[in-house]
Amino acid sequence: MTTATAISHRTIQTNGINMHIAEAGEGPLVLLLHGFPELWYSWRHQLPALAAAGYHAVAPDVRGYGGTDAPQPIEAYSMKNMVADAVGVLDALGEQTAVVAGHDWGAPMAWNCAITYADRFRAVIGMSVPFLPRGPIPPMQLFRQVFANQFFYILYFQDPGVAEKELEADVRKSMRTFLYSASGDVPPPEANFWQKPKDSTFLFRLPDPGHNLPSWLTEDDLDEFVGEFERTGYRGGLNRYRNMDRDWEDSAELAGAKVRQPAMFITGERDGVRSFTPPPEQMREHVPDLREIIVVPGAGHWIQQERPAEVNEAMLKFLGSM
C-alpha cells in the first residue's frame, strides 16, 4: 500500500462522544458508515481505493463499536444520535459537505443524514438496506404481525441481555457463523436456516464454517472483528435495534420526506435483507434522483467485503458523475 492510500487512525470528538475513525487520502470527503456486527474494518477495501481516486475517505467505528464510546443508556443509540454523530464528524474535520455511504444499519443512517441534514450531505450511497419511508405503525407492531408464527431476529434482539448472552458466549464462533451465514457463499437454499420456530435463538441452525472461511474473509480479518467484540461485547450494536420504535416516534416530521440528493443503491443478489424489504425499484418514488440500482450476482449481505472490486468501481463511477 502506498503512502497515498495508507490508512491512518485517530480519535475525534463528535456529538458528546469520542469516536475512532480510520481515514485515507485527501480531497472531497466520503463518509463510510458500517452496520451490525461490524467495524470501520468493513470498509478496508474501499478506503484505499477512494483515496487513490482523490477522495478523503473516512470510516468511523459508529457509537457502541470498537474504539468509539459506548454510552450505557439504550436511548443513546437513537437514529437522531447516530445522525448527529455523522454530522459531527464533518464538523470535526472542518468540512461543510460530504458524500455519505452506509451499509446495513449504516444505510438507514446515511438515508437519514440525507433527509435530516440535506445541506451537509450532497449525495448518498445505500448498501443492502433501501430507503424506507416512515410507516403507518411502529416497526415492532408491524414485525409482530408479519412474523407472528416464526423467529425474526429483530424481535429477538429487543430484550436487553438475551442476544448478548448468546453471542458473547463464544465471540469467535458467533462472529464466524454470522458472517458466513449471511454471505453469498452459503449453498442454496440458504433461506431455510433463517426460517425457524418462534422460540429459537439467533444462532440456532446457522451453519458454522469452522476454518473453511469464504475467500473474502481471512483468519486475519476474522481476528480484527473478534478482538474488538471480545473487548466491547455486542450490546452497543444491539441497542440500535432497540430504538426502532423510538425512532418512529421521533420522526413524525419526516413522514413523506424524500431523499433529493443524487443517490445510488447496491445490494447482493443473495442478501437476506431482500426477503423482508420492498424491491429497491420502489425507492424511486421517495428517492427521485436515484441514479442506479446495482444487484451484484451471487453476493450476499456483506457486499463491500464480498465484492470489493464491483463495489469500488460502482462507487467511483457514481462519485465521478457529480
Produce one character per residue of 45-62: b if its CB has 16 or more CB atoms within 10 Å, e if not: bbbbbbbbbebbbbbbbb
The answer on pLDDT for 48 being more than 60 is yes
Q: What is the pLDDT of residue 164?
A: 98
Q: What is the tens place of the pLDDT at every residue in 257-311?
A: 999 999 999 999 999 999 889 999 999 999 999 999 999 999 999 999 999 999 9
Instruction: Domains for the chain: give ranges and CATH numbers.
Output: 3-320 (3.40.50.1820)
In the sheet where 121-127 sits, what is the strand order? 8-14, 17-24, 56-60, 29-33, 98-103, 121-127, 263-268, 290-296
* Mean pLDDT of the 26-45 span: 98
pLDDT digits (tens, 9 = 90+) for 202-259: 999 999 999 999 999 999 999 999 999 999 999 999 999 999 999 999 999 998 899 9
Q: Which three cell numbers stand for residue 162?
A: 438475551
The predicted pLDDT at position 195 comes to 82
Instruction: Answer yes or no: are the C-beta atoms of 299 and 306 closer than 8 Å.
Output: yes
Of 205, 225, 229, 206, the C-alpha closest to 217 is 225
State the catalytic residues. 104, 301
Say if residue 95's pLDDT is above 50.
yes
Question: pLDDT by residue (tens digit) across 116-173?
Answer: 999 999 999 999 999 999 999 999 999 999 999 899 999 999 999 999 999 999 999 9
pLDDT of residue 193: 67
Q: What is the pLDDT of residue 2?
A: 40
Please say if the pLDDT value at position 192 is more than 70: no
Q: What is the pLDDT of residue 81?
A: 98
Strands, DSSP E only, in the chain? 8-14, 17-24, 29-33, 56-60, 98-103, 121-127, 263-268, 290-296
pLDDT tier for residue 189 given thresholds of 50, 70 and 90:
low
Average pLDDT for 27-43: 98
**What per-residue confidence (pLDDT) applies to 187?**
84
If 0-12 CB within 10 Å is exposed, 13-18 middle and 19+ buried, where does residue 282 land? middle
Return d(Cα 58, Cα 90) in angstroms, integer.
10
Sign of CA pseudo-dihedral 178, 216, 22, 102: negative
- For cell 429477538, the residue is 156
pLDDT (tens digit per residue) in 174-187: 999 999 999 999 98
Q: Which of 102, 232, 222, 242 is nearest to 167 (CA)?
A: 232
Instruction: With cut-offs at 50, 70 and 90, classify the pLDDT of residue 194.
Output: confident
pLDDT at 266: 98
Q: Which residues contact 1 (CB under 8 A, 6 or more apart)?
A: 7, 48
Query: 18 is written with which cell numbers?
Result: 469520542
233: left (phi over 0), alpha (psi -120 to 50) or beta: left
What is the Cβ-side half-sphere exposure of residue 241, based on CA atoms within 13 angstroms?
22
Q: Residue 39 above 90 pLDDT?
A: yes
Please check the confidence at residue 21 and state whether its pLDDT lies above 80. yes
Cis amide prior to 37 (ω within 30 degrees): yes
Mean pLDDT of all residues in 14-41:
98
Least Cα distance to 32 among 280, 311, 317 occurs for 311
